[in-house]
Amino acid sequence: MSASLRAFTEGLIDYAGLFPPAKLPMADAVEKYLAHRTAAEARMLSRFICPASRLDELHEAAAANTGEPISISALGRGGANGTEFVTNLKEDVATIAEFTSKHTGRYYIDAMEVRVPDDLMTQNETRDVREIIQSLTSILEGNFPNPVRPFLELGPRDNWEDSLSYLVRFIDYQNNILRKSAIHPKVNPAGFKLRCGGVTADAFPSIEKVATTIRICRNEKTAMKLTAGLHHPVRHYNESVQTKMHGFINVVGAILFAWAEGLDDEALIPILAEEDASAFKFDDDGFTWRDRKLTLAQIESGRRSAIVSYGSCSFDEPVEDLTNLGLLSTSKH
């Protein structure tokens, strides 16, 4: 593995084996995750994604684990409106806090993912959205022994760009408070979670939508987390869903270029649309897409600040594809 690919993929994949299309039983998903942690490419693996409501089930499945603590990103239930969102958030966080306290040293939960209520973003209620983000920070701060980073997701809608801009501005507002103050040492700056696919064609956002999302998050210095539809490195047509799937090299690469070079939507779209794997190159000096290049330092900086990880229900597929492209050496799992 070249130095640039190592930096590009370090801790990049959160394992989401519980979710479609894999949708494995908990015991099978945990078994696979623990096996992946011992693979040659284990440095690419990050968290196990688990709903807060299934943490006890996870513990039963992981009873035999005597290795390092299992790193977890917990999923909250969200809510149909602001009141329900805050109520569910308090219950989910209490569940997570009790779980970590009960099993000290066996699990490490440093991320929480939750979807913002659709009705608030439709109404663009400034006060309510601000209060929800402030409530999120306050609830997380009061319940965890270690810093936790929340990722907020926005559901599909017609006014995507306006709603996204609106939400990310408030995320940035609250993040700036965190950065300037020691009041919330147990909450890391929030990020935005983008869904890149699913099990049907309509679940895959357009290249234009992805480019716009990257640009808005970059403008507000808001880190991104990706999920769904990113099993493979390079954009391609998939017969099973009858549409083109985004490649994780395309999307992660576009995010890194956007932050390093300040690219706008027009410049990001060709990177996201690239289907020729040979257009992407990794060497010890940096990462190249056609005539654009990122240095190793820019990749490392971007991974810290711009793109945290992406969720995938398969770890084998990304590894096998990178191997087939000649970017990884062949190894057994």
pTM: 0.93
So what's the pLDDT on residue 322? 95
Map out the domains of the chain with their CATH numbers.
3-324 (3.20.20.70)
How many C-beta atoms surround the C-beta of residue 303 within 10 A? 21
Residue 174, pLDDT score: 79
For the chain, residues with pLDDT lower than 70 are 121-128, 142, 180-187, 330-333
- 159 Cβ contact list (under 8 Å, min separation 6): none
CA 65, 107, 153, 322 dihedral sign is negative
Render pLDDT for 95-148 as a digit per residue (tens, 0 to 9): 998 998 899 889 999 999 999 887 776 655 556 677 777 777 777 776 777 788
The residues pairing with 192 across neighbouring beta strands, listed in sequence order, are: 152, 224
pLDDT of residue 183: 57
Q: Residue 35 in contact with residue 62, Cβ under 8 Å?
A: no
Distance CA 270, CA 253 (A): 11
Contact predicate 272/235, CB 8 Å: yes
